[in-house]
Amino acid sequence: LRWVNYLRPGLKKSLFTKQEETILLSLHSMLGN
């Protein structure tokens, strides 16, 4: 938590957008885990 709260305060903490989810699923199908 220290890293998230103090060293990277601007880090996005919300859910993925539909566009981000599509990109993640596409890359996961290409590359795997």
pLDDT along the chain (33 residues), means of 10: 71 88 97 91
Pair of tokens at residue 17: 């957008």
The pLDDT of residue 3 is 66
Let me know: does 2 contact 9? Beta carbons within 8 Å: no
Query: What is the residue whose two structure tokens read 């596409």?
Result: 26
Residues near 5 by beta carbon (within 8 Å), at least 6 away in sequence: none
Q: What is the CA radius of gyration of the chain?
A: 13
The pLDDT of residue 7 is 75
Q: What is the pTM of this model?
A: 0.58
The pLDDT of residue 4 is 67
The pLDDT of residue 11 is 73
